[in-house]
């Protein structure tokens, strides 16, 4: 059984940054009918700031921006089997045409989606404010976890190397 390590405030934000900064997640919005009409798409996390807010680039004309305008609840699902860590976040989102934030977050790879670069008139930023989050991680990394799994098979004893918990960030 995994150890439970619930984290709050700065510890929670640090864990979110560790597991999500620069990673791709499945970004879930709600279409017409809301809860019955989940829509997932992969999106790259541009930043997780010191308040625990997550930032993404989008296109203001996209379905996801329209869906966020209508119903701002979103889910973010992170999965990194190579590192043996996972995180899910439920939050509220805001999509805006904030050029200063685009400038702050811009990186050359984003040009693949925005042909006019950071000056694209339709580039938007999505800010996700987490309301609930949960993570699963290993204590010692993938190699030690793998060795413990092998030892478990040979010894017929459980040697779970996992840690999980809630991440609580008070909105600022």
Give 120-162 pLDDT, tens digit per residue: 999 999 999 999 999 999 865 554 444 444 344 455 555 456 7
What pLDDT is recorded for position 43?
A: 97
CATH number of 3-168: 2.30.110.10
Quote the pLDDT of residue 141.
Answer: 53
* pLDDT at residue number 3: 86
Q: Which helix (H) or strand (E) holds 19?
A: helix 9-20
Q: Where are the domains of the chain?
A: 3-168
**Residues of the chain scoring pLDDT < 50:** 1, 143-153, 159
- By the 10 Å C-beta count (0-12 exposed, 13-18 middle, 19+ buried), 102 is classed as buried
Q: How many CB atoms lie within 10 A of CB 112?
A: 7
Q: Give the pLDDT confidence score for residue 147 in this predicted structure.
A: 40
Reported pTM: 0.84
């Amino acid at each position: 059984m995994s150890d439970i390590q619930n984290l709050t405030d700065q510890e929670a934000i640090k864990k979110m940054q560790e597991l999500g900064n620069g990673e791709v997640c499945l970004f879930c919005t709600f279409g017409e009918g809301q809860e019955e009409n989940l829509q997932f798409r992969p999106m790259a996390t541009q930043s997780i700031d010191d308040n625990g807010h997550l930032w993404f680039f989008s296109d203001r004309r996209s379905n996801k921006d329209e869906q966020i305008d209508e119903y701002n609840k979103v889910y973010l699902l992170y999965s990194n089997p190579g590192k043996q860590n996972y995180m899910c976040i439920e939050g509220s989102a805001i999509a805006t045409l904030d050029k200063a934030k685009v400038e702050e977050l811009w990186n050359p790879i984003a040009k693949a989606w925005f042909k006019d670069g950071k000056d694209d008139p339709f580039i938007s930023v999505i800010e996700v404010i987490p309301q609930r989050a949960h993570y699963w991680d290993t204590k010692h990394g993938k190699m030690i976890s793998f060795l413990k799994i092998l030892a478990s098979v040979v010894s017929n004893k459980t040697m779970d190397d996992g840690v999980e918990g809630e991440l609580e960030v008070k909105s600022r």
